[in-house]
Amino acid sequence: MDLSLKDSPEKDILLMRKYAHILDKGLHRSDVEAGHSKNIYEMLKSLIERLSTTKYSNDATCIWAQSKLKKYEMLQEEPKSFKPFRGKEITSKISYEDLVSLIKLRRSNRAFKEQLVTEDIIIKLKEVVNWAASSCNKQPIQLFVTNDPIWAKECLMCCKGGTGFSDFVPTFWAFTANCRGYVWPSEMYLPFVDVSLGAQNIFLAAETFGLSGTILSWAQKNIQENLQLRKLLSIPDDCIIVFCAVIGYPLYRYQIPTRKDIK
């Protein structure tokens, strides 16, 4: 977490999303007034200017942040004619019953068919991760994945609890958070919350492809296991490994454990 104190473009873009999110919340308010959040505006403007000379200058979230900056300036210049942001009215086409059925279908299987998971499916699963809520819209999740069964099995050996799996290990996933956007001591645990919210999207989406994912705790890793996994998947030091997972086509379905009564 010491890396979060050092300046870098990676830190700038995470904080840029945060400050743009803060302005965005205000610009959606029905009682929005000019004159508020000037310090946030100045910090956001400075970050956007710094990022304009980096590889992130055309990043979609950078362009999004610029639009919030312009809207904020319109509020200050013409407060009487300003109209707060409003999104489109959308009704979900997915029923509650369908959603609950999908949630209940998800199992942590450890026996997999000898069937490869294609790069195309991995990309589709990656696409859903940032649509989960994240603290101040920082979108800090970075995924490191291999769909080489031999390589995946070697990665699995770095994880305590990685036992009982079939000999064929289809894909190995490391779920990480870029720590550079967490600059306050009170944010110490937020990377774990942010990654978990995004990961749930992946595990549910995996079920729609007939895939099953098993989460592996990273809490008991030792120094050597940490170094080895980072080396295998080229995970940089500014990424906190939150947990890992194996995802593949289940050879058979594990039985559903009884859930506690919600009362």
Domain boundaries, the chain: 2-77, 96-248
Mean pLDDT of 199-210: 96
The count of residues in the chain is 263
> Which residues touch 196 (CB under 8 Å, ≥6 apart)?
242
In the chain, the amino acid numbered 52 is S
Going by the DSSP 8-state scheme, the letter that residue 49 receives in this structure is: H
What does 84-110 look like in DSSP terms, one character per residue?
---PPP---SS-HHHHHHHHHH-----
Cβ 108 vs Cβ 162: under 8 Å: no
Cβ 57 vs Cβ 9: under 8 Å: no
Mean pLDDT of 143-160: 96
pLDDT at 1: 62
**Treating both helix axes as pointing N-terminal to C-terminal, what angle do 38-51 and 9-27 enclose, rounded to 10 degrees?**
140
Cβ 110 vs Cβ 164: under 8 Å: yes
Return d(Cα 143, Cα 244) in angstroms, integer: 10
On the question of pLDDT at 161 being above 90, the answer is no
Return d(Cα 83, Cα 30) in angstroms, integer: 9
| Architecture of the domain delimited by 96-248 | 3-Layer(aba) Sandwich (3.40)
pLDDT in tens, 92-127: 899 999 999 999 988 888 999 999 999 999 999 999
Return d(Cα 26, Cα 72) in angstroms, integer: 9
What 3-state class would DSSP assign to 165? Answer: coil
Return d(Cα 81, Cα 188) in angstroms, integer: 42
pLDDT at 172: 97
Q: Look up residue 97 and give its two tokens.
A: 């019953």
* Cα–Cα nearest to 139, from 187, 198, 183, 204: 198
pLDDT in tens, 38-92: 999 999 999 999 999 999 999 999 999 999 999 999 999 999 999 999 888 888 8
What percent of the chain lies above the pLDDT cut of 90?
83
